[in-house]
Amino acid sequence: MIVLNLFLLFFPLTVNFDHFQILRAIGKGSFGKVCIVQKRDTKKMYAMKYMNKQKCIERDEVRNVFRELQIMQRLEHPFLVNLW
């Protein structure tokens, strides 16, 4: 138990929004924005897309969000993150 807790302390299994600092916006779409972000602990930079869940629901765009997810799951490219 202690070993697992120490492991999780040094190697967290989840990453959330708080692990990143937003540097600047680089794009905007129907249901979200894409920003350049920097991971706080490693200082590595990434592009992060995030969406406003409430706006997706209000605009009845939920189906489109899931369609985009399905498309992204099928793509394989070195510059894209794999989604499972």
Q: Domain 16-74, CATH 3.30.200.20 — does that match?
A: yes
Question: Is 49 among the annotated ligand-binding positions?
Answer: yes
- Sign (positive or negative) of CA dihedral 62, 52, 12, 35: positive
For residue 34, give the 3-state DSSP assignment. strand
Sorted by where each begins, the domain ranges of the chain are 16-74
Could you give the CA distance from residue 64 to residue 29 in angstroms, rounded to a whole number?
12
pLDDT at residue number 49: 85
pLDDT at residue number 31: 73
- Sign (positive or negative) of CA dihedral 26, 14, 31, 69: positive
Which pairs from 74-77 meet CB under 8 Å and 24+ separation? Answer: none
pLDDT of 3 above 60:
no
C-alpha atoms less than 13 angstroms from C-alpha of 2 in its C-beta half-sphere: 0
The chain-wide mean pLDDT, for the chain, equals 82
**Residue pLDDT, tens place only, 13-48:** 688 889 999 999 999 987 788 999 999 999 999 888
pLDDT at residue number 2: 45
DSSP annotation of 66: H
**Residue pLDDT, tens place only, 56-84:** 899 898 998 889 888 888 888 888 777 65
